[in-house]
Protein backbone atom coordinates (compact mmCIF):
# COMPACT_ATOMS: atom_id res chain seq x y z
CA UNK A 1 0.00 0.00 0.00
CA UNK A 2 1.25 3.50 -0.80
CA UNK A 3 2.25 5.74 2.08
CA UNK A 4 1.79 9.40 1.21
CA UNK A 5 2.68 12.49 3.14
CA UNK A 6 -0.15 14.99 3.16
CA UNK A 7 -0.32 18.48 4.59
CA UNK A 8 -3.75 19.65 5.63
CA UNK A 9 -4.27 23.35 6.27
CA UNK A 10 -7.40 24.35 8.16
CA UNK A 11 -8.47 25.59 11.58
CA UNK A 12 -8.43 23.81 14.90
CA UNK A 13 -11.92 24.08 16.33
CA UNK A 14 -10.98 22.70 19.74
CA UNK A 15 -14.50 21.38 20.28
CA UNK A 16 -17.05 20.56 17.60
CA UNK A 17 -15.87 17.67 15.39
CA UNK A 18 -14.83 19.58 12.30
CA UNK A 19 -11.75 20.72 10.37
CA UNK A 20 -8.43 19.43 11.78
CA UNK A 21 -9.92 17.31 14.57
CA UNK A 22 -11.69 15.38 11.79
CA UNK A 23 -9.07 15.47 9.01
CA UNK A 24 -6.13 14.23 11.07
CA UNK A 25 -7.75 11.03 12.42
CA UNK A 26 -9.52 10.17 9.15
CA UNK A 27 -6.53 10.62 6.84
CA UNK A 28 -4.29 8.83 9.36
CA UNK A 29 -6.77 5.94 9.49
CA UNK A 30 -6.44 5.68 5.70
CA UNK A 31 -2.74 5.01 6.30
CA UNK A 32 -1.06 8.29 5.41
CA UNK A 33 1.40 10.53 7.23
CA UNK A 34 -0.66 13.60 8.04
CA UNK A 35 1.01 16.91 8.84
CA UNK A 36 -1.07 19.88 9.90
CA UNK A 37 -0.86 23.62 9.55
CA UNK A 38 -3.53 25.26 11.73
CA UNK A 39 -4.99 28.39 10.13
CA UNK A 40 -6.58 29.54 13.40
CA UNK A 41 -7.52 28.17 16.81
CA UNK A 42 -11.15 28.53 17.88
CA UNK A 43 -12.80 27.29 21.05
CA UNK A 44 -15.60 25.81 18.88
CA UNK A 45 -16.68 26.05 15.26
CA UNK A 46 -18.82 29.02 14.26
CA UNK A 47 -22.07 27.24 13.39
CA UNK A 48 -24.51 27.07 16.28
CA UNK A 49 -22.13 28.35 18.98
CA UNK A 50 -21.85 31.96 20.06
CA UNK A 51 -19.00 33.77 21.79
CA UNK A 52 -16.30 31.45 20.46
CA UNK A 53 -12.65 32.48 20.78
CA UNK A 54 -10.61 32.99 17.61
CA UNK A 55 -6.84 33.18 17.38
CA UNK A 56 -5.69 33.98 13.87
CA UNK A 57 -2.46 32.15 12.95
CA UNK A 58 -1.93 33.89 9.59
CA UNK A 59 1.36 35.48 10.65
CA UNK A 60 2.84 32.12 11.70
CA UNK A 61 2.38 30.56 8.27
CA UNK A 62 5.37 31.99 6.35
CA UNK A 63 7.85 31.11 9.11
CA UNK A 64 6.48 27.58 9.46
CA UNK A 65 6.83 27.11 5.70
CA UNK A 66 10.34 28.63 5.72
CA UNK A 67 11.42 26.24 8.47
CA UNK A 68 10.13 23.31 6.41
CA UNK A 69 12.06 24.59 3.38
CA UNK A 70 15.22 24.70 5.51
CA UNK A 71 14.56 21.17 6.78
CA UNK A 72 13.63 19.97 3.26
CA UNK A 73 10.14 18.95 4.42
CA UNK A 74 7.96 18.36 1.36
CA UNK A 75 4.56 16.85 0.69
CA UNK A 76 2.87 14.52 -1.82
CA UNK A 77 -0.46 16.22 -1.32
CA UNK A 78 -2.06 19.34 0.10
CA UNK A 79 -5.60 19.52 1.39
CA UNK A 80 -6.97 22.88 2.49
CA UNK A 81 -10.23 23.56 4.31
CA UNK A 82 -11.48 26.44 6.47
CA UNK A 83 -8.92 29.22 6.39
CA UNK A 84 -8.59 31.99 8.94
CA UNK A 85 -8.16 35.10 6.74
CA UNK A 86 -7.92 36.38 3.15
CA UNK A 87 -4.19 36.91 3.54
CA UNK A 88 -3.73 33.19 4.17
CA UNK A 89 -4.59 32.41 0.57
CA UNK A 90 -1.32 33.97 -0.65
CA UNK A 91 0.59 32.03 1.98
CA UNK A 92 -1.14 28.78 1.02
CA UNK A 93 -0.33 29.33 -2.66
CA UNK A 94 3.27 29.95 -1.66
CA UNK A 95 3.35 26.70 0.36
CA UNK A 96 1.96 24.83 -2.68
CA UNK A 97 5.07 26.02 -4.55
CA UNK A 98 7.75 25.79 -1.92
CA UNK A 99 6.87 22.64 0.01
CA UNK A 100 5.71 20.34 -2.80
CA UNK A 101 7.21 17.08 -3.96
CA UNK A 102 7.20 16.40 -7.69
CA UNK A 103 3.62 15.95 -8.98
CA UNK A 104 2.14 16.91 -5.62
CA UNK A 105 -1.64 17.03 -5.76
CA UNK A 106 -3.55 20.09 -4.49
CA UNK A 107 -7.03 19.50 -3.13
CA UNK A 108 -9.08 22.48 -2.00
CA UNK A 109 -12.33 22.43 -0.07
CA UNK A 110 -13.52 26.05 -0.25
CA UNK A 111 -15.16 25.65 3.16
CA UNK A 112 -16.90 29.03 3.31
CA UNK A 113 -20.64 28.62 2.79
CA UNK A 114 -23.70 26.38 2.94
CA UNK A 115 -27.45 26.61 2.47
CA UNK A 116 -27.13 29.64 0.17
CA UNK A 117 -25.14 31.68 2.73
CA UNK A 118 -21.52 32.46 3.57
CA UNK A 119 -20.32 31.35 7.02
CA UNK A 120 -20.33 34.26 9.52
CA UNK A 121 -16.60 35.07 9.20
CA UNK A 122 -16.56 35.55 5.40
CA UNK A 123 -17.47 38.21 2.83
CA UNK A 124 -17.21 38.66 -0.94
CA UNK A 125 -13.55 39.74 -0.69
CA UNK A 126 -12.83 36.35 0.85
CA UNK A 127 -14.78 34.65 -1.95
CA UNK A 128 -12.65 36.47 -4.53
CA UNK A 129 -9.47 35.27 -2.86
CA UNK A 130 -10.86 31.74 -2.61
CA UNK A 131 -11.41 31.76 -6.38
CA UNK A 132 -7.64 32.13 -6.87
CA UNK A 133 -6.98 29.13 -4.63
CA UNK A 134 -9.69 26.96 -6.20
CA UNK A 135 -8.69 27.67 -9.77
CA UNK A 136 -5.07 26.78 -9.06
CA UNK A 137 -5.99 23.45 -7.42
CA UNK A 138 -6.11 20.02 -9.06
CA UNK A 139 -9.34 19.04 -7.32
CA UNK A 140 -11.96 21.17 -5.60
CA UNK A 141 -14.75 19.93 -3.35
CA UNK A 142 -17.43 22.63 -3.16
CA UNK A 143 -21.04 22.18 -2.15
CA UNK A 144 -23.62 23.85 -4.42
CA UNK A 145 -23.59 27.11 -2.41
CA UNK A 146 -19.79 27.39 -2.61
CA UNK A 147 -19.76 26.53 -6.31
CA UNK A 148 -22.40 29.20 -6.99
CA UNK A 149 -20.35 31.81 -5.06
CA UNK A 150 -17.18 30.86 -6.97
CA UNK A 151 -18.75 31.65 -10.35
CA UNK A 152 -21.40 34.24 -9.37
CA UNK A 153 -24.22 31.83 -10.23
CA UNK A 154 -27.69 32.10 -8.76
CA UNK A 155 -28.09 29.68 -5.82
CA UNK A 156 -31.07 27.39 -6.12
CA UNK A 157 -32.45 25.11 -3.47
CA UNK A 158 -34.49 23.18 -6.01
CA UNK A 159 -32.76 22.53 -9.30
CA UNK A 160 -32.41 20.03 -12.11
CA UNK A 161 -29.51 18.36 -13.90
CA UNK A 162 -29.33 21.23 -16.40
CA UNK A 163 -28.67 23.73 -13.58
CA UNK A 164 -25.92 21.51 -12.13
CA UNK A 165 -24.30 20.98 -15.54
CA UNK A 166 -24.42 24.76 -16.12
CA UNK A 167 -22.73 25.34 -12.77
CA UNK A 168 -20.02 22.78 -13.57
CA UNK A 169 -19.46 24.30 -17.02
CA UNK A 170 -19.09 27.75 -15.44
CA UNK A 171 -16.54 26.38 -12.96
CA UNK A 172 -14.59 24.76 -15.79
CA UNK A 173 -14.61 28.00 -17.82
CA UNK A 174 -13.35 29.88 -14.77
CA UNK A 175 -10.35 27.51 -14.50
CA UNK A 176 -11.47 24.65 -12.25
CA UNK A 177 -9.91 21.27 -13.04
CA UNK A 178 -11.59 18.28 -11.38
CA UNK A 179 -14.73 19.19 -9.41
CA UNK A 180 -16.33 16.99 -6.76
CA UNK A 181 -19.66 18.70 -6.20
CA UNK A 182 -21.31 17.55 -2.98
CA UNK A 183 -24.91 17.58 -1.79
CA UNK A 184 -26.51 17.14 -5.21
CA UNK A 185 -29.96 15.56 -5.02
CA UNK A 186 -32.52 15.42 -7.80
CA UNK A 187 -35.24 13.50 -5.95
CA UNK A 188 -36.93 13.67 -2.57
CA UNK A 189 -35.00 11.59 0.02
CA UNK A 190 -31.87 11.31 -2.11
CA UNK A 191 -28.62 13.18 -2.33
CA UNK A 192 -25.30 12.51 -3.97
CA UNK A 193 -22.07 13.72 -5.44
CA UNK A 194 -21.07 14.69 -8.95
CA UNK A 195 -17.56 14.04 -10.22
CA UNK A 196 -16.72 16.34 -13.12
CA UNK A 197 -13.41 15.65 -14.83
CA UNK A 198 -12.25 16.57 -18.34
CA UNK A 199 -15.80 17.62 -19.24
CA UNK A 200 -17.21 14.26 -18.15
CA UNK A 201 -20.05 14.12 -15.65
CA UNK A 202 -20.59 11.12 -13.33
CA UNK A 203 -23.07 10.98 -10.49
CA UNK A 204 -23.22 8.82 -7.37
CA UNK A 205 -26.49 9.08 -5.53
CA UNK A 206 -27.32 7.72 -2.14
CA UNK A 207 -29.86 7.97 0.61
CA UNK A 208 -30.44 11.33 2.31
CA UNK A 209 -30.87 11.08 6.07
CA UNK A 210 -33.63 13.18 7.60
CA UNK A 211 -31.35 15.12 9.96
CA UNK A 212 -28.61 17.28 8.44
CA UNK A 213 -25.51 17.50 10.61
CA UNK A 214 -22.70 19.99 10.94
CA UNK A 215 -19.17 18.89 9.98
CA UNK A 216 -20.17 16.37 7.32
CA UNK A 217 -18.40 18.42 4.61
CA UNK A 218 -15.12 17.97 6.49
CA UNK A 219 -15.74 14.27 7.11
CA UNK A 220 -16.50 13.87 3.41
CA UNK A 221 -13.45 15.80 2.15
CA UNK A 222 -11.06 14.05 4.56
CA UNK A 223 -12.27 10.59 3.54
CA UNK A 224 -12.05 11.59 -0.12
CA UNK A 225 -8.43 12.73 0.33
CA UNK A 226 -7.54 9.57 2.29
CA UNK A 227 -9.11 7.25 -0.31
CA UNK A 228 -7.63 9.12 -3.27
CA UNK A 229 -4.14 8.87 -1.77
CA UNK A 230 -4.69 5.11 -1.37
CA UNK A 231 -4.77 5.03 -5.17
CA UNK A 232 -8.55 5.09 -5.72
CA UNK A 233 -9.84 6.87 -8.83
CA UNK A 234 -11.73 10.14 -8.21
CA UNK A 235 -15.16 8.53 -8.68
CA UNK A 236 -14.36 5.61 -6.35
CA UNK A 237 -12.89 7.95 -3.73
CA UNK A 238 -16.00 10.16 -4.01
CA UNK A 239 -18.24 7.10 -3.52
CA UNK A 240 -16.28 5.78 -0.52
CA UNK A 241 -16.34 9.24 1.07
CA UNK A 242 -20.12 9.47 0.53
CA UNK A 243 -20.77 6.02 2.02
CA UNK A 244 -18.51 6.79 4.98
CA UNK A 245 -20.26 10.11 5.62
CA UNK A 246 -23.68 8.41 5.55
CA UNK A 247 -22.39 5.73 7.94
CA UNK A 248 -21.06 8.44 10.30
CA UNK A 249 -24.47 10.14 10.24
CA UNK A 250 -26.19 6.82 10.98
CA UNK A 251 -23.89 6.29 13.98
CA UNK A 252 -25.12 9.68 15.26
CA UNK A 253 -28.81 9.31 14.48
CA UNK A 254 -29.82 7.70 17.79
CA UNK A 255 -28.48 10.65 19.81
CA UNK A 256 -30.58 13.76 19.39
CA UNK A 257 -28.35 15.77 21.72
CA UNK A 258 -25.38 15.33 19.40
CA UNK A 259 -26.06 18.20 16.99
CA UNK A 260 -22.71 19.96 16.54
CA UNK A 261 -20.97 17.21 14.54
CA UNK A 262 -21.12 13.52 13.62
CA UNK A 263 -19.72 10.46 15.39
CA UNK A 264 -17.31 9.78 12.54
CA UNK A 265 -14.98 7.87 14.90
CA UNK A 266 -17.51 5.04 15.24
CA UNK A 267 -17.54 4.62 11.45
CA UNK A 268 -13.74 4.39 11.01
CA UNK A 269 -13.72 0.55 10.97
CA UNK A 270 -16.31 0.79 8.18
CA UNK A 271 -14.11 3.21 6.23
CA UNK A 272 -11.13 0.86 6.49
CA UNK A 273 -13.29 -1.99 5.14
CA UNK A 274 -14.49 0.19 2.23
CA UNK A 275 -10.89 1.01 1.32
CA UNK A 276 -10.17 -2.72 0.97
CA UNK A 277 -6.44 -2.11 1.38
CA UNK A 278 -4.06 -4.81 0.27
O1 LIG B 1 -16.95 22.61 8.91
C2 LIG B 1 -16.50 23.79 8.36
C3 LIG B 1 -16.00 24.72 9.42
C4 LIG B 1 -14.69 24.60 9.82
N5 LIG B 1 -14.18 25.42 10.78
C6 LIG B 1 -14.94 26.36 11.35
C7 LIG B 1 -16.27 26.51 10.99
C8 LIG B 1 -16.81 25.68 9.99
C9 LIG B 1 -18.20 25.83 9.60
O10 LIG B 1 -18.98 26.56 10.14
O11 LIG B 1 -17.01 27.43 11.61
C12 LIG B 1 -14.34 27.26 12.39
* Best probe residue, ligand 1, of 53, 110, 111, 220 (max atoms within 8 Å of C-beta): 111
215 lines ligand 1 (CB under 6 A): yes
Would you state the pLDDT for residue 212? 86
Question: pTM value?
Answer: 0.98
82 lines ligand 1 (CB under 6 A): yes
Mean pLDDT rounded to a whole number for the chain: 97
Residue-wise pLDDT tens digits, 54-104 = 999 999 999 999 999 999 999 999 999 999 899 999 999 999 999 999 999
- Ligand 1 atom 6, closest CA: 45
Alpha carbon of 46 to ligand 1 centroid (Å): 6
Domain boundaries, the chain: 5-275
Over range 207-219, report the average pLDDT: 93
Alpha carbon of 169 to ligand 1 centroid (Å): 28
Alpha carbon of 278 to ligand 1 centroid (Å): 34
CATH H-level superfamily of 5-275: Ribokinase (3.40.1190.20)
Alpha carbon of 218 to ligand 1 centroid (Å): 9
159 lines ligand 1 (CB under 6 A): no
Residue-wise pLDDT tens digits, 39-56 = 999 999 999 899 999 999
Q: Which long-range contacts (CB under 8 A, 24 or more apart) does 240-246 make?
A: 240/271, 240/274, 240/275, 241/193, 242/192, 242/193, 242/204, 242/206, 243/206, 243/274, 244/219, 244/220, 244/270, 244/271, 244/274, 245/216, 245/219, 245/220, 246/206, 246/207, 246/209
Amino acid sequence: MSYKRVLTIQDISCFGQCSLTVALPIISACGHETAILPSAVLSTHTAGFSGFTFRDLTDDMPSISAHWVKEKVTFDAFYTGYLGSKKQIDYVLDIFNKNARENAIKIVDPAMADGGKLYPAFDMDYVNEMKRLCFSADIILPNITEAAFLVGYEYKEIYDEQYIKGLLGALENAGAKTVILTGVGYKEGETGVVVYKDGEYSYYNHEKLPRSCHGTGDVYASAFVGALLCGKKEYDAAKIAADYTVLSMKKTADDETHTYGVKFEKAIPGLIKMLDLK
